[in-house]
Amino acid sequence: MNNDNSDLVQMKILLVDDVPLNIEILFKTLRTRNYQIFMADNGVKALELVTQIQPDLILLDIMMPEMDGIETCRRLKADEATRDIPVIFITAKTSAEDVLEGFNVGGVDYINKPFRLQEVLARVETQLRLRKTLRDKDNLISELRDTHEVLLSSSKLDLLTGLQSRVALSEILSQEQSRSQSSGKAFSLIMADIDHISDINDEFGVTVGDQVIIRTGDVLQENLRSHDVVGRWSSEEFLIFLPETGLEDAQILAEKIRGAIENEKLDFNQKQIPLTLSIGVNHCSTGMKWEKCLAGAHECLKQAKKNRSE
**Residue 46 parent element (H or E):** helix 43-53
Residue 154 lies in a domain: no
Q: What is the band of 135 on the pLDDT scale with cuts at 50, 70, 90?
A: confident
| pLDDT tens digits, 230-259 | 999 988 999 999 999 999 999 999 999 999
- Residue 7, exposed/middle/buried by CB under 10 A (0-12, 13-18, 19+)? exposed
What average pLDDT is seen over the chain? 88
CA dist., res. 13 & res. 109, Å (int)? 15
Q: What is the percentage of the chain residues whose pLDDT exceeds 70? A: 95
Q: Is the pLDDT of residue 309 over 80?
A: no
Q: Are residues 256 and 287 in the same domain?
A: yes
Examine the fold and report which residue of 113, 147, 181 is the final residue of a domain before the chain moves on.
147
CA dist., res. 13 & res. 21, Å (int)? 17
Span 49-75, average pLDDT: 92
Examine the fold and report which residue of 147, 181, 208 is the final residue of a domain before the chain moves on.
147
Q: Are residues 196 and 269 in the same domain?
A: yes
Instruction: Tell me, rounded to whole angstroms, the distance of Cα 213 from its chain centroid.
Output: 30
Span 153-181, average pLDDT: 84
Q: What is the percentage of the chain residues whose pLDDT exceeds 90? A: 52
Please give the residue range of the domain that contains residue 237: 166-309
pLDDT value at position 13? 96
Number of domains in the chain: 2
Whether the predicted model's global pTM rises above the 0.75 cut: no
Q: Kindly give, in sequence order, each residue whose CB lies less than 8 Å from that of residue 204, ignoring residues fewer than 6 positions away.
A: 268, 273
Taking the chain, what is the end-to-end CA distance rounded to the nearest angstrom? 82
Whether the Cβ atoms of residue 110 and residue 99 lie closer than 8 Å to each other:
yes
3 state SS of 135: helix
pLDDT value at position 76? 95
Residue 48 lies in a domain: yes
> Residue 171 carries which side chain, given as an amino acid letter?
E
Whether the Cβ atoms of residue 56 and residue 85 lie closer than 8 Å to each other:
yes
**CATH of residue 73:** 3.40.50.2300
Residue 88 lies in a domain: yes
Q: Is the pLDDT of residue 287 over 60?
A: yes
Mean pLDDT lowest among 26-35, 49-58, 135-144, 201-210: 135-144
Residue 92 lies in a domain: yes
Examine the fold and report which residue of 147, 175, 200 is the final residue of a domain before the chain moves on.
147
Q: Is the pLDDT of residue 27 over 90?
A: yes
Q: Are residues 120 and 68 in the same domain?
A: yes
Span 56-74, average pLDDT: 92
Q: Are residues 134 and 21 in the same domain?
A: yes
Q: Residue 26 to residues 11, 32, 243, 269: CA-CA distances in angstroms?
A: 15, 10, 72, 79
Q: Are residues 271 and 298 in the same domain?
A: yes
Q: Are residues 141 and 219 in the same domain?
A: no
Span 196-221, average pLDDT: 90
Q: What is the band of 24 on the pLDDT scale with cuts at 50, 70, 90?
A: very high
**Residue 61 parent element (H or E):** strand 57-61
Residue 153 lies in a domain: no
Q: Are residues 183 and 118 in the same domain?
A: no
Q: What is the band of 1 on the pLDDT scale with cuts at 50, 70, 90?
A: very low
Span 185-200, average pLDDT: 91
